[in-house]
Amino acid sequence: MFIATACGSVLTGAVVFALFLVASISALDRDVPRAKAQVAAAFRSGQLVENPYQEGSTTIGSHQWNDCLITAMAVDQRGDRTRLALSPIIAGFPGLAADADPCAMLKTMISGSPPDATLYYYDRYVHGATVLLRYLLPHFRIAQIRALYRAALTCILVGGLALTLIGIARNRRVVEFAVLAVTFLALLRFFGLESFSQSLGHGPADFMAAAYVLAIAVMLFARVGTVVVILAAALFGSLTIVFELFTGGFPLGLAMVIGLASLGVRSGNQPREFALTACAAGAYCGAAAVTYLFKIAATSYVAGPAVIADIAGQLLHYSPGSELGPNFPAAAVAIARSIGVLTGGMTLLASALVLSAVVAGGYGLRWILIHVSSTAIRQRAILLAVSVLPVPAWFLAFPNQVAIHAWFMDRIIVWVIAAGFSVFLLAIAARYRPGSPADGSGLPGGAG
């Protein structure tokens, strides 16, 4: 199993990067004038606006900063083809400040003003969202692309919830399906989809997270082995890093893998939960690392080692070792103030649900550890409880980033809600089966 993890991580990461590079090369020069015309029309219709912060918007979305940035990178195709296939350009313009927001830069670009001759390639990320937009923009308006992203994410989440309900109704591994149902419901209600599902940046990354949970639900209906579970986690990690813009997708994905991966293997065919989860989490991180390292290696080969220094400098700036200092208090305040992003701005509701999930999960875990003898159910509860750790760990690792961007980073706290209530559900399922071991194979007869 450990050999499969290592080999699967390297192979998946390499294949995903190779496919991404082919797709990126093919996406260049796809009717750029038409794409720019679509952007100009979006500004005229209000689908793109100069104010990059549209807090609480359920039409064009809250994160116009990233939408404008990704759109500008998609349509600005000056420069070397090889460099552009690896990294898009962030344009600068005479008369605009160096730190001008991307919406101002995008509108200036579309108006026909000549940009600066110096090209700055944005090498820090893989930029899957930019490549995807290069394919779509010549054929669809910005509003249509947003509607497409929102519809795709909605279909995955609603379809996944329907699948879990079918599994529960058929009395097939009911507790596992119920845990997934809780997860889908948490994502549907407490993931800020009202203001982020239509985002040109968040939409594709959110889709990958929802698709992974759906994949686990499909695995519950199929007879899959440990290798399939490990490879699914590896693929999820690679695709997450392709579409990630340091917006929380990576820690959320890791939390999902830790909490859910072991559900996908049939009870009679699985090793111990801890070992399988460790391998799946290792595959997720390993494949993501391989994909990203291929990206950095290729970019450094073309552009020189300064790329690595730029990435390291940005990570240091966001970390407690920054020249700004640890900044933990500011990060904590920002997280508390922005918690309403989970529920479309309803701060009290979001705070109450997070607190309720923590209390319910703590109660459930304690009850299971004291009263349940089944190794499988105990391990599953512990894994769900441990799975929340990537969320605070990320906040502690990058407090300066969180202090600035908590208004969208807080969305990953959805996993605290999903995991907490899932552990509570496990405890209730075990508690009301007097006289029988809590093996997690079904809900108690007559319960509920």
Q: What is the pLDDT of residues 257-310, one digit of tens each?
A: 999 999 988 665 555 789 999 999 999 999 999 999 999 999 999 999 999 999
- Mean pLDDT, residues 192-198 taken together: 93
- What tens digit of pLDDT does each residue of 394-422 get? 999 999 999 989 989 999 999 999 999 99
Residue labelled with tokens 């990690």: 237
More confident residue, 336 or 376: 336
Helix (H, G, I), strand (E, B) or coil at 90: strand
What distance in Å separates the CA atoms of residue 95 and residue 339, rounded to the nearest whole number? 37
The number of helices, as runs of H, and strands, as runs of E, in the chain is 20, 2
What distance in Å separates the CA atoms of residue 403 and residue 250, rounded to the nearest whole number? 18
1, 276 Cβ separation under 8 angstroms? yes
| Count of all residues that appear for the chain in the document | 448
257, 284 Cβ separation under 8 angstroms? yes
What distance in Å separates the CA atoms of residue 428 and residue 431, rounded to the nearest whole number? 5
DSSP 8-state assignment for residue 91 = P
Q: Output the pLDDT for position 403.
A: 92
Q: Output the pLDDT for position 439.
A: 44
Residue type, 403: A
Q: Output the pLDDT for position 225.
A: 87
The answer to which of 221-225, 312-316, 442-446 has the lowest mean pLDDT is 442-446
- Mean pLDDT, residues 314-339 taken together: 92
Banded model confidence at residue 1, pLDDT cuts 50, 70, 90: confident
105, 96 Cβ separation under 8 angstroms? yes
More confident residue, 349 or 265: 349
For the chain, the average pLDDT equals: 90
88, 137 Cβ separation under 8 angstroms? no
Q: Output the pLDDT for position 388.
A: 98
What distance in Å separates the CA atoms of residue 117 and residue 93, rounded to the nearest whole number? 9
What distance in Å separates the CA atoms of residue 86 and residue 65, rounded to the nearest whole number? 22
Residue 125, pLDDT above cutoff 60? yes
What distance in Å separates the CA atoms of residue 448 and residue 433, rounded to the nearest whole number? 12
373, 437 Cβ separation under 8 angstroms? yes
- Mean pLDDT, residues 151-163 taken together: 97
Q: Which of 78, 71, 74, 111 is nearest to 95 (CA)?
A: 111
- Cβ neighbours of 327 (radius 10 Å): 20
Q: Output the pLDDT for position 150.
A: 96
> Which residues are within 8 A (CB) of 426 and not within 5 positions of it... i.e. 6 or more apart?
175, 179, 364, 368, 377, 380, 381, 384, 440
Q: Output the pLDDT for position 74.
A: 95
- What tens digit of pLDDT does each residue of 26-66 get? 999 899 999 999 999 999 999 999 888 888 888 899 889 99
Q: Give how far Cα 305 sits from Cα of 124, 277, 292, Å.
A: 13, 36, 15
Q: Output the pLDDT for position 91.
A: 80
Q: Output the pLDDT for position 442.
A: 42
What distance in Å separates the CA atoms of residue 287 and residue 282, rounded to the nearest whole number? 8
Residue labelled with tokens 């009301």: 432
Helix (H, G, I), strand (E, B) or coil at 120: strand
408, 337 Cβ separation under 8 angstroms? no
More confident residue, 159 or 98: 159
> Which residues are within 8 A (CB) of 249 and not within 5 positions of it... i.e. 6 or more apart?
205, 206, 208, 209, 240, 243
- What tens digit of pLDDT does each residue of 64-101 get? 999 999 999 999 998 889 999 999 998 877 656 556 68
266, 283 Cβ separation under 8 angstroms? no
Residue 437, pLDDT above cutoff 60? no
Residue 89 belongs to what H/E stretch?
Answer: strand 89-90
Residue 235, pLDDT above cutoff 80? yes
Q: Which of 292, 293, 217 is nearest to 261 (CA)?
A: 217
The answer to which of 150-154, 408-412, 437-441 has the lowest mean pLDDT is 437-441
User: Which tokens hold the place of 71?
Assistant: 């759109």
